[in-house]
Structure 1
């Protein structure tokens, strides 16, 4: 058994998601477990170099986690032939130029979503990557959440019969920043900085729906800016120019109807921050981030509408937990390991930059639907990739 080094340029890991999920809980966790075991018995050990604009922040982050390599010069990092992978977790507006430069440098690409601010740029990245002959992947972390992995198991078992509809509720109250600091960065609420919940979350719902139920064929979306003013990290008030809530309905291949409410202006009265209900002819399921419950048709109570008497049915009583039956690791770490093996030994990894472009496309069409107040069809981007 040999240990094989793989160099990774990690750009944008001083931000919340890049630092916590990608650096600490993924790459550092992989290093601490002794690397990624490959099919031939060798072990792949990631060797990251952290890249950022703020030297003080990036050096402190590297030192805190025992990482010896860091830089503020992306161009010089891309020239280093010993680092094979470029990873991008910057804000969306910065992503296109950096990823394009990494493709030109011959790096394999792994990046956060949205992959760009519009469909044209996102598709251009997919075309550039294909022409360069590099491997490329996009973060699709929700697919590897324990609750959704259990839901996928239920789907594959045939439990639902014919699936009719999907209902998703996502969100929580993000404090405005005046009397309590906000839990999300202020750029999320400025359209000019690439913010907005439609751009952020509809990309997620597209890949969840496509991988579990069917490709999105059409959509109708209504956005809203419920909180018109917030306070930034320096304590300064600013106008919220981006949407902080979205109410979207999707028509999927096979006739399934899906609806997702996404909001940073909702107080949570459910088990988890994300809840997805699936209803089929033979049964239903409710999945969250970690749990999944099912109700078959033989366990379905016979509800009758009668508001004149107290409700006689405990609607929670006839649902059953889907057991773990597995050890679930961090969703970002699972996908990182898959991508590293994809680069090292060409194991499958279907979530490429074209999948990322499809997410951007659906989000962009959601914005158009809101602006034009109508249903919008979703063309297939694959034909434009050649």
Structure 2
């Protein structure tokens, strides 16, 4: 009696055929899925609480200028500051003396103290004139204490300024390139006190702040961190705060934070936004901006004022006077504007082409974008700066 085994075996696909079919299905799924956004490290989208810069500011004097300093009669604080500094050095300035010092300038010194800065380290400083000095080129900043918000001194600044601008004048004519009332001193401030920094709470909690708060991004960060460690160490408190349960040992905490910063996360795409600079006329669109179909008409409105002078002569022997009377002619001109059809699109290049097809100037384009947003055709947030 013949066996039925060959027939049943012939109906079962081979392992090679099944693999090829699976690969085809995977390729088809990959083609249908949208392109994935590039993944970023956690350190690029979030910061640990407490790890930040601290701004410092101080008042100082720049000396050694070539006659381009403050005019002390117009900036009395320069003379007062110099008098106080000389008194600390044991020099007494006679009362009522009129010091005309063109080689001294009062300045404000600013810097940013990075996190984990220790005494003895050096940071860059920016020196800016607050008086009427023409130039700080060639000047030297005298020792200036830099203070924080609490009024404590955290650094001391001193050194020779580097000014990028240059100027020249002769016979009443002058020329200037760039700005000369400010400069920098590389590694010009010496840290004298560190800023207290507490990483982690009493139970080892660490807070992670998202730079662009978003609920979906916070969820993805939590999932990525928990997958990295294989257990629940992260939990989202809101759209901008992720709380981590870290170790209590300082060495283990540093290793934990470094591992968290290296986790790969795919953040949510930026919300569609159009940025309009009302001062310069610049218009910037991001890649998520969409445009629905609309009809737009625009035309420029201009006012022309033409002014001339009319001379009125008196009659002979009338003892009158010649009078010049201004005469103004005002006219309003408006360009005609026909309706233009703007095709809708979700691609950024097509949106740009549709707006460019209107032939509008940047100033007109700002008004058109506002109208499109009000009509619901512009599917983006409109922000005017």
TM range (shorter): under 0.3
Larger Rg: 2
Q: How high is the TM-score relative to the length of structure 2?
A: 0.21
Q: How high is the TM-score relative to the length of structure 1?
A: 0.21
Query: More relative contact order in 1 or in 2 (CA 8 Å, sep 6+)?
Result: 1
